[in-house]
Amino acid sequence: MIELAENRYGKSRVRLMKVTRHEHGHEVREWTVQVLLKGDFVSAHVDGDNSSILATDTMKNTVYSLARNSTATSMEAYAKELVDFLLGRNPQVTSAEVQIASTLWKRLTIDGMPHPSAFMHGSDERQTTHVERAQAGEFKVVSGLENLVILKTANSAFEGYIKESLTTLPETSDRLFCTALRADWHYTSSDFDYDDLRTKIREAMLRTFANHISKSVQQTLYAMGESALSEVAQINSIELAMPNKHCLLVDLSRFGQDNPNEIFVPTDEPHGYIEASVRRKA
């Protein structure tokens, strides 16, 4: 006996840029949206009967149409509106989830003043959210960030690790520490000022990264997660991934020069990869 197991479908990489115009200046939001639906789609898979299928092109149009009248200022609030809209119109759908990644735009500074309507692309950091709700269920909101590239040039060491026949890495008490941070945090409920909490979580982690006397990436990762949980009571866990983007000390001795920890070659591959989840005790 063969049957259809769990399945879902939707529309990915729907690019949306919204300009909100005020008298004092404009606001720009660029979001990449993914919509995924779960439901009773057996007939479509087994029999080719599409009567229960909402076309993915319709999902794309829904993203734009809903954004036109939305007053949401956060990704989370807009994602909740979109989920509610899709569930309300599609009773055959058991649950809907929306994922959004935000591209950073910063105001141009002209003659020392922020320009009201001119912007420049920020870093490659992307802010993210994942919002899901079942019919008659509660929202589940997980937000985060990815590719936040950060570097510290002091207070980072790596010593005391296992040495065996294949170990060539020398110990160091003074190294460069560079990573591209990814973090996802789980909210305790679904009705918050998400942008304010995001700012607090992000600043807590960056403050810890900058000030922490690091004995390893693992130790700093845990300290950053701990600081986020301490700063924001509205989250109950946070998952962090911190690839170790190595900066290798260049040997200048063959040129008759010393290198007092000043000249490095940055490398992307291969790199160490560290991830962990930090949570409140039950």
96-107 pLDDT, tens digit each: 999 999 999 999
Q: Beta strand pairing status for 140-152 and 177-187?
A: antiparallel
Could you say which of 18, 38, 56, 140 is catalytic?
A: 56
CATH number of 148-279: 3.10.270.10
Q: Quick one: angle between helices 194-211 and 75-89, nearest 10? A: 140
Query: Above pLDDT 70, what percent of the chain?
Result: 100
The fold of the 9-137 domain, in CATH, is Urate Oxidase (3.10.270)
Domain boundaries, the chain: 9-137, 148-279
Active site residue 246: yes
Could you say which of 11, 60, 130, 212 is catalytic?
A: 11
Query: Above pLDDT 90, what percent of the chain?
Result: 91
Question: Taking the model in full, what pTM does it have?
Answer: 0.90
Active site residue 56: yes
Q: How many Å apart are CA 230 and CA 208, to the nearest integer?
A: 12
Question: 148-279: same fold as 9-137?
Answer: yes
Q: Quick one: angle between helices 56-69 and 75-89, nearest 10? A: 130
Average pLDDT, the chain: 95
Lowest-confidence pick of 159-163, 238-242, 266-270: 266-270
pLDDT band at 282 (very low <50, low <70, confident <90, very high): confident
Give the residue-averaged pLDDT of 129-150: 97
pLDDT for 256: 96
Is the pLDDT at 268 greater than 90, yes or no? no
Active site residue 11: yes
Q: To which residue do tokens 């607090």 refer?
A: 200
pLDDT for 281: 92
Q: Write the DSSP symbol of residue 3.
A: -
